[in-house]
Structure 1
Amino acid sequence: MAASVSSLIGTDPRGEPRLPNGGPLGLLSRARLEQNRPADRRLNRFYRIGAGLMGLGLVVFGVLGITQKLGAFSTGDNTVWGMNTNGALSWLSVVVGLALGVAMLVGGNLASTFCLGLGVLFLLSGFVNLALIKTDANVLNFEISNVIFSYAAGLLLVFIGAYGRVAGRLPHDNPYWRARNPEVARDAERRDRIVERRRREISEEWRQADRHRERRWARDRRRRRVLPGRAARRAAREESTPRS
């Protein structure tokens, strides 16, 4: 019984392994987004746009705080977008936003993994700063609005980073499903190549048949133009020939 239960660990309801032998790190090292695949392009575009928008929001928030020329660790009621801020939080927001911009430019696995890891850090930051709000250790001048934003941004970043890679029933053209099921993916790619080659062969056969029909039609048309002239000349010769 124990053996049968252990054999099912790591599989989804269809019996397919959820992770490769190397575990999560093995999945990250084996999954690669390829630009020649439609599913990979869609995922890559989603990661880029998500990272770019989040990074832009953080940079704008940080710049607005910097322009107020606040103290590095001031704890006054200086707000931007309804959230408390100070010099340290403003510069930290700019740095994190620029890092998200770099992830957007790189795209692919890096953007997804960076958003996922950063989202977890935002969630942890919300819990930690919630405990530090009324203490002298609140160096980032957090208030409840900042904590709520940290939770919201963390959840959104986790969603962006995890989109299309952690579900148990991913489509078979998904790059992370291919990384989890390399043998099945290779068989599917082999079948796709065979089908594509056969499709090209059939298309070429049809083109050759079309060319043959066109040549035959052109030959018949030339014959139809030539034969009446020959018949007329033959009739003229017969009329000019004296009958005995």
Structure 2
Amino acid sequence: MAHTPVNHPARPIYRAIGGLVGLYFVVFGVLGVIAAAGDDLLARDDTKVLGQGSNLGFALVSLVIGVLVLAGTALGRNRDVVINGWLAYALMALGLAGLAFIRTDVNIFNWSVATSVVVMTLSLVLLMVSMYGKVGTDEEQDAWQKARLVL
């Protein structure tokens, strides 16, 4: 049994927060595509979007991530929990890799430290949203409450 809450009272708020994170990624992606229009896909130049280093490649990746998060939020019923959880861990790995490769030739997404900080922060928010957004039956909620009280 998972140790995450089932039917948390603030579940709608967490779901809305997840939607806002998805909306941020979509807005960032759209602004990134506009700012990097005409550049190479993985250009390493001085393109900044919302104060973060970016290029057309990362703008498109952000757009896809945002659409996935918004789709999961719209679908609900624990699909958002799975999508947000997996994307949170993937974004953490991407953020750490981006931070490790900022001053190297491997920095294909033209990241800056600000970009890495924002991606890591949003991944933690998505992880929190996935942990508190689980929906279940009354029996599952009772089992979770009993297990929580034992710990």
Range into which the TM-score falls when normalised by the shorter chain: 0.7 to 0.9
| 1:48 correspondence with 2:15 | yes
Number of residue pairs matched by the alignment: 142
Aligned: 1:76 with 2:37: no
Matches within 5 A, 1:224-243: none
Relative to structure 1, the CA distance from residue 73 to residue 164 in structure 2 (aligned partners, 3 Å threshold; closer, same or farther) is closer
Structure 1 position 86 matched with structure 2 position 47:
no
**Distance of 1:101 and 1:164 partners within structure 2:** 14
Gaps of 5+ in 2: 147-151
SS at match of 1:108: coil
* Cα contact 2:78–2:133 (8 A) shared by 1: no
Aligned twin of 1:60 = 27
Which residue number in structure 2 is paired with residue 113 of structure 1?
Answer: 82
Alpha-carbon separation, structure 1, partners of 2:92 and 2:49: 20
Unaligned runs of 5+ in 1: 1-18, 34-38, 166-173, 185-244
Question: RMSD value over aligned CA atoms?
Answer: 2.8
Q: Is the radius of gyration larger for structure 1 or structure 2? A: 1
Deviation at 1:96, TM superposition (A): 0.8
Higher relative contact order (CA 8 A, sep 6+): 2
Q: Show structure 1 runs of 4+ deviating over 3 A.
A: 39-42, 174-178
The one-letter code of the counterpart of 1:179 is: E
How big is the shift at 1:104?
A: 1.2
Counterpart Cα distance in 2 of 1:149 and 1:125: 11
**Deviations 1:118-177 (Å, cap 9, x if unpaired)?**
111111111111111122111111111111111111111111111266xxxxxxxx8388
Task: Report 1:1-244 matches (<5 A).
Answer: 19=1, 24=2, 39=7, 43=11, 45-68=12-35, 69=37, 70-163=39-132, 175=136, 178-179=139-140, 181=143
Question: Which TM-score applies when normalising by structure 1?
Answer: 0.52
- Give the partner amino acid of 2:48: T
- How far residue 178 of structure 1 moved from its aligned partner, in angstroms, is 3.7
Q: Secondary structure at the match of 1:67?
A: helix
In structure 1, C-alpha distance between the alignment counterparts of 2:138 and 2:110, rounded to whole Å: 43
**What is the TM-score normalised by the length of structure 2?**
0.80
2:78 match: secondary structure: helix
More helix by share: 1
For 1:50 and 1:159, the matched residues in 2 are separated by: 10
Q: Structure 2 vs 1, CA of residues 105 and 150 (structure 1 numbering), >3 Å: closer, same or farther?
A: same
